[in-house]
Amino acid sequence: QCPWGAPNTTSISCSLADVMSEQLAKELQLEEENAAFPEVVAVAEGPFITGENVDTSSDLMLAQMLQMEFDREYDAQLRREEKKINGDSKVSISFENYRKVHPYDSDSSEDEVDWQDTRHDPYRADKPTTTPRKGFIGKGKDITTKHDEVVCGRKNTARMENFAPEFQVGDGIGMDLKLSNQVFNALKQHAYSEERRSARLHEKKEHSTAEKAVDPKTRLLLYKMVNSGMLETITGCISTGKESVVFHAYGGKSATEDKVIPPECAIKVFKTTLNEFKNRDKYIKDDYRFKDRFSKLNPRKIIRMWAEKEMHNLTRMQNAGIPCPQVVILKKHVLVMSFIGQDQVPAPKLKDVTLSSEDMKKAYYQVLNMMQQLYKECNLVHADLSEYNMLWHDGKVWLIDVSQSVEPTHPHGLEFLFRDCRNVSQFFQKGGVAEALNERELFNAVSGFNITADNEVDFQEEIEALEKMNEDHVQNHGKKLSMFSSDGDPPIYDE
């Protein structure tokens, strides 16, 4: 049944003239045809209806059809106004954003030129500006709010184009797809979880390649070490971290007689993929030891500098007698050191061992001692000290991973120290060491300062004030405050 009204069927008066009438013959034929193909009858002609099975009984559909008709008229008016305003002016104003029927969802070809010039680009970042801030558009019965289903549906379809590029959304715009909010949100959710899944897969792949093979240049370096006899064999990977890969190797013979290669070695390869190192800039950029060089360096060299830093810091610690890996050799971004552990099995991290309460207490006092030594004798703050970077071996704690360690006068050195203290204090307090100092007491015990603030915030503030004071002093006098190295001179730094 046609929604636009039933066709008029007039009853025929049957005179001879009528029977003979050509016009009547045509009418009768039409009537017969209509009876034979009822579904073809009287589908209302309109630009918006194309298929044969359009269900015109739906109120929603009717409303939408009317709405689209309004939209078209509105747009036509808009175009006229646009023309009037712009005239022959070279600079023209486009009302594109105010149009409701966008050229790409119009099926008439008269828009073709516009289509090229002013097409709203659905691939541009999310910019669904067809509804102004006031929340509706148009006047009187032309009014369309942002909740309008078609507009909203189209917007949703356009937004779908902003999903991750790998996510195949199909040509929703081309076919004038109108997504309901519900469907759109479900799709969005799906796209996000897909994206996360693919990121995870990708990450896995990256890590596994890092584990199986380092990049060719690094492989060549390692090969040379084995080839020269310095290393006997490289047995395998101990750890793959964000910034480094650590291998185990059996030591060989040194080319020079005076140097003894440890029987087992750890090879730390600093990753040459750069992005991970970006957030470490703050450690090295402000380290005056590297100040002059930092700005001139390319990222590859900065990575070598991390390896170099680790070597220098380990050497200082070795000289102070702190248990830590002994440096064997540094080649570019590859640092070879003694292996903490035995028979290819690395010593466990402090976080992974269960110590007796006696050992726990012993470990605590040792760590306290080492922190003080590190500060006073080595003039260093570890800056990444936690149960992750302390190994338990031979009945004592060994410190590792010191590439990011800085001197206490580093602009953020004391903050780093405070963070270390917090980690250490929390670990041992949770581990049941009743004697363990809290983080503030530990900070004072290590640094020799006497900050009395009894709460975290004030304490932190005083630390920052101290750092600032030191910075100002450096600005004015070009050297560090002596109070930072309270116990005589810091060790001479040998570069």
Catalytic positions, please? Answer: 384
How far, in Å, CA of 449 to CA of 467, rounded? 12
Q: Which of 151, 400, 417, 424 binds ligand ADP (CB under 6 A)?
A: 400
- Restricting to residues 442-481, which ones interact with ligand ADP according to CB under 6 A? none
Please report whether residue 389 would count as binding Mn ion according to CB under 5 A.
yes
163-166's contacts with Cβ under 8 Å and 24+ in sequence apart are 163/187, 163/188, 163/191, 163/195, 164/191, 164/194, 164/195, 166/194, 166/195, 166/198
Residues 6+ apart with CB under 8 A from 491: 316, 319, 377, 378, 379
- Minimum CB separation of residue 388 from Mn ion in Å reads 6
Residue 244 or 409 having the CB closest to ligand ADP: 244
| Cβ pair 397, 391 in contact under 8 A | yes
User: Token pair for residue 480?
Assistant: 């560090």
Q: Which stretch binds Mn ion (CB under 5 A): 154-162, 348-356, 387-395, 433-441?
A: 387-395
Please report whether residue 340 would count as binding ligand ADP according to CB under 6 A.
yes
- Minimum CB separation of residue 335 from ligand ADP in Å reads 9
User: Token pair for residue 77?
Assistant: 């008016």
Residue 230 or 383 having the CB closest to Mn ion: 383
Residues 6+ apart with CB under 8 A from 243: 270, 271, 276, 277, 280, 306, 403
- Minimum CB separation of residue 207 from Mn ion in Å reads 16
Q: Which of 34, 239, 318, 444 binds ligand ADP (CB under 6 A)?
A: 239
- Minimum CB separation of residue 479 from ligand ADP in Å reads 32
Closest alpha carbon to 411 in 279, 302, 284, 312 = 284
How far, in Å, CA of 389 to CA of 212, rounded? 24
Q: Which stretch binds Mn ion (CB under 5 A): 77-85, 89-97, 382-390, 458-466?
A: 382-390
The interface mask with Mn ion, positions 395-434, x = CB under 5 A, is ------x---------------------------------
Q: Is 309 exposed, middle or buried (0-12, 13-18, 19+ CB in 10 A)?
A: buried
For ligand ADP (CB under 6 A), the number of binding residues is 19
| Cβ pair 302, 284 in contact under 8 A | yes
Please report whether residue 122 would count as binding ligand ADP according to CB under 6 A.
no
Q: Which of 132, 241, 263, 432 binds ligand ADP (CB under 6 A)?
A: 241
Please report whether residue 349 would count as binding ligand ADP according to CB under 6 A.
yes
Centre a 10 Å sphere on the Cβ of residue 130 and count the other Cβ atoms it contains.
Answer: 21
Q: In this chain, which residue has its C-beta nearest to Mn ion?
A: 401
What residue type is 15 in one-letter code? S
Q: Which of 103, 122, 323, 346 binds ligand ADP (CB under 6 A)?
A: 346
- Minimum CB separation of residue 408 from ligand ADP in Å reads 21
Residue 114 or 276 having the CB closest to ligand ADP: 276
How far, in Å, CA of 466 to CA of 382, rounded? 19
Residue 157 or 389 having the CB closest to Mn ion: 389
Closest alpha carbon to 270 in 190, 317, 336, 318 = 336
- Minimum CB separation of residue 423 from ligand ADP in Å reads 14
Interface contacts to ligand ADP, rule CB under 6 A:
238-239, 241, 243-244, 246, 266, 268, 325, 337, 339-341, 346-347, 349, 389, 400-401
